[in-house]
Structures are given as C-alpha cells and as structure tokens.
Structure 1
Amino acid sequence: MEIHNKIERATLAGGCFWCTEAVFLELKGVKSVVSGYIGGHTLNPTYAAICNGDTGHAEAIEISFDPDVISFGELLEVFFATHDPTTLNRQGNDIGTQYRSEIFYHNEMQKEISEAYISLMTDENTFEQPIVTKVSPVSIFYKAEVYHNDYYNQNKLQGYCSYVITPKIEKLKKVFQDKLKV
C-alpha cells in the first residue's frame, strides 16, 4: 500500500479570519491553519492597516491539509456552509473589503473545482441571493500578527467569540460530524 503524505495548501477568505480559522482547525486532515492577509496592494500589511479597508487585502486563512484525508472540494463544502457567500464585502456586522468572500487557488485544479462548485450551487439555487465569491490566483500571503493565531481557542469567552464563532462551530459539529477530528 502506497502512502503519499503529500500536504497541499488552500487559501480562503470568508470574513473574519478568527471565524474561519476556528472552523477549519476542527477538520480531520487539516494539519495547520494560519491567519493572514492576501489580495491587496500594500507590502507587509498589519491588522491596523487592513481594518480601514484601504490596503485591498482580505482577512484570510492558509490551510495545510492532507488530500488523502480531506479533499479541496470538501474544504470548499465546509467553507460555503460556514459563511455567507452572497454578501459583498460583508459577513454579519463585519463590513469592508477585508471581509470579502474569495478563494485564492494554488493551481488549475483548485481553480476548476472552485468554479465548478460555485456553478453547481448557482444552478441548484443553494442560496436565495447570487454568490459573490471571487476565484483568484493566490498571491503573497502575509501572516497575521501572532495574537491572531488560534484566537478563538484562546478567547472563547470573549463576546465576539461567544456570539459569532461558537454558533459556527456548533453548526460545523452538527452538519459535518464525519469530518471532525476526534
């Protein structure tokens, strides 16, 4: 039996990176999740700089995953189920271009899977409104400041975490129970 142990990367922007990081850390096959900034025009952006929306960056996560355990398509399934891909530059009360929905593909296969998945959801009217998620080539990913890493697990009792992230985690556990780490 051949064992591949090939780790791939996926880069997704689905609003606040504290939310998306917390969700994807729960999945089998996900080796690491790093919060950061991508898709902008400012070199070495900081959290303070991207918060005003002027740098062009999205809050995003870079996922390292084992495709023999969880596929890129399965990551997209979780991505679209745990954020609203129909609101332009917004997730809930978080408003601005830094909160946009965007998939940054690392290769042609990821691009094709992303476009096909969006097309399928559009054809099936999965959402009441049109999907606004962009599909773009990956560019420079800047890691966020250290205090953003594992933010939810370090701050579960903080208001934003309790009211915004915890319900996403509860939905994940209910809908994707078979994909969760033990």
Structure 2
Amino acid sequence: MSKNIQLATIGGGCFWCTEAVFQEVKGVEKVVSGYSGGNVPGHPTYREICSGLTGHAEVIQITFDANVISYEDILVIFMTTHDPTTLNRQGADRGTQYRSVIFYHDENQKEIAEVVCKEIAPYYENPIVTEISPLDKFYEAEKEHQDFYRNNPNYGYCNFVIDPKLAKLRKLHSDKLK
C-alpha cells in the first residue's frame, strides 16, 4: 500500500510535550519542533519566542501517513493530551507562545479542526479556547529542541510534565500507539 503523506501543525504549550506525545503515535513519520503564528519578520529564535513579543507559538509539525492515522485522529489525540481550555497557558507555562492552536494547511483541515473542537467540547468543564488559524510559515526550532524528551528523559521538566502526558496518551489512545 502506498503512503499518503500529510502535514499537521499544532501547538499545545511547550513543544517538548507535544513532540514526545506524537513520536509514539502509529503513522507518524516525523515530528519537528518549531514556531508559527508570529508577526515579526525573519526566523525567530527560542529566546525571542520566550519573550512573548513575537506572536509566535511553540508548535510541532507532524509528518504522518493518512493511510495509517487520520488528521481527525491526530487532532483528537492532541485535544485530549493537553488542556484546550486554558488561554495562553499550559500548566506553569504562561504566555501567547504556549497557546493552544491548530494551524491548518487547507480548507479540509480547517473543517475537520472545527468539527473535532465542537465534538470534544462537551467532555470539558470549561469552553475550548483552541485557536484555529491558517498556517502562514513554520520555522524549525534550534537543534537542541528537537527530540528533547528522547535526549533528556531524566530532565526534571520531562519527569514532572511530559511523563504524565505520555501516561494519559497510553491510557486514552493505546490503540493508536507504535
């Protein structure tokens, strides 16, 4: 069977967390941490992003085989492994760079994102605040931010923040794991 390679670009707080989650998902070929949604020219740096002044969000770009996992399933996993009800915040990470966002690549992805957000909403006590916006540009993050969890499994942030997200992924979506 031939592959049906597609891209998804999402942000759910720190990109180290979302990267670690999607690296475990069947059909995901590659996950790249980066930045999108900003309003300043040029390739932003991590330091600039952390200032909160560029308008960029920490995101991941997922290359996936849609014959193995659908875009809808990618979004359901995304919406259930982070908190889509907190504006510009995930846990202790605060600022617009940590916003919950889906950057769609075409109108079909936009429609699917809107449907998934609507279908997931009743499962949360508070309203979903996930931004749904067209992808303008994706900027790859610096090398030290790629494969962060795999390269730093004993780092405190990984133990306290990422490990619980991975446990939630394994509990809720065990049928979608590699």
Shared fold by TM > 0.5? Answer: yes
What residue in structure 1 maps to residue 56 of structure 2?
57
Q: Which runs of 5+ in 2 are unaligned?
A: none
Q: TM-score, normalised by structure 1?
A: 0.95
Q: CA deviation at 1:177?
A: 1.0
Q: CA deviation at 1:93?
A: 0.1
Give, as a single letter, the amino acid of the residue that structure 2 aligns with 1:97: T
What per-residue deviation string (whole Å, max 9, x for no partner) do you get for residues 53-102 of structure 1? 00000000000000000000000110011100000000000000000001
Question: Is the CA contact 2:79–2:120 (under 8 Å) kept in the aligned structure 1?
Answer: no
What residue in structure 2 maps to residue 30 of structure 1?
28
3-state SS, counterpart of residue 104 of structure 1: strand
Moved segments of 4+, more than 4 Å: none
Distance (whole Å) between structure 2 residues aligned to residue 131 and residue 167 of structure 1: 21
Distance (whole Å) between structure 2 residues aligned to residue 94 and residue 19 of structure 1: 12
* Alignment: residue pair count: 177
Distance (whole Å) between structure 1 residues aligned to residue 102 and residue 144 of structure 2: 24
Q: What value does the CA root-mean-square deviation take over the aligned residues?
A: 0.8
What residue in structure 2 maps to residue 8 of structure 1?
6
What per-residue deviation string (whole Å, max 9, x for no partner) do you get for residues 11-67 of structure 1? 001000000000000000000000000000122100000101000000000000000
3-state SS, counterpart of residue 78 of structure 1: helix
Distance (whole Å) between structure 1 residues aligned to residue 139 and residue 51 of structure 2: 17
Q: Which runs of 5+ in 1 are unaligned?
A: none
Q: TM-score, normalised by structure 2?
A: 0.97
Q: Percent identity?
A: 58
3-state SS, counterpart of residue 36 of structure 1: strand
Larger mean Cα displacement after TM superposition, 169-178 or 139-148: 169-178
